[in-house]
Amino acid sequence: MHWIDPASLPETKGMVDRFLQNPHGEADGMLLTDGTEIHFPPHMSRHVLAAVKPGAGVAVRGVRPRAANMIAAVSIQVGDAEPIVDQGPPDADAPAKPGHKAETRELKDIEGVVKMILHGPHGETCGAILEDSTIVRLPPGEVAAMHGHLAVGNKLAARGECMTNAVGAVLTARWVGSSLFALHQVEPAAHPKHSGASHDEHTKHRPAA
């Protein structure tokens, strides 16, 4: 169970425009029609997708990181329904639930203009939405290496595995650049065994012997 009491947090209301998702096909956020970015942990994905649809009015209680204009949700409520509250990740020993969305995966090149920057739960930049609605996820450290190029209105090209399902398309970048003719390879993010926790929190590089 989340250690923060949702009732003690400020409430933000709005209408859902679209969902955001990670490379595993789990929803981990949504955008409201006024442009507000909402992040929620992927272990809430099934409950949120079952109860919330684009166009629905929601009331979100959460915290706002210093580093970004977004809200890390602790609870999400639709109308008078019972709020969906972050109860923490599932037991690591619990059997994995089968996938709930048909999906396709393919190596793909994409190129477009950045429409919006996306953030993780602590306000860290983790990718972008292009004008064609594709989500591009970047590995930790690559954002800083781009020296400010990752910005709204700038061109972004990427190559990597693109996962598409009913929620949308998300590409995990393995090469990025300002165009498909100027790509550089990036170090892939490590993916420890999925446990509902953030994948980026568990990996450190061990120095060579």
Place of tokens 């048909």: 102
Q: Do residues 89 and 40 make contact, with C-beta atoms less than 8 angstroms apart?
A: no
pLDDT of residue 188: 66
pLDDT of residue 59: 97
Q: 85, 84, 78: which is closest to 15 by C-alpha? A: 78
Q: Do residues 60 and 72 make contact, with C-beta atoms less than 8 angstroms apart?
A: no
Helix (H) or strand (E) holding 144: helix 142-145
| Number of neighbours of residue 191 by Cβ within 10 angstroms | 13
Domains and CATH numbers, the chain: 6-85 (2.40.50.140), 104-185 (2.40.50.140)
- Predicted TM-score (pTM) of this structure: 0.81
Instruction: Give the residue ranges of the chain where pLDDT is below 70.
Output: 1-2, 91-101, 188-209
Beta bridge partners of 106: 162
pLDDT of residue 193: 45
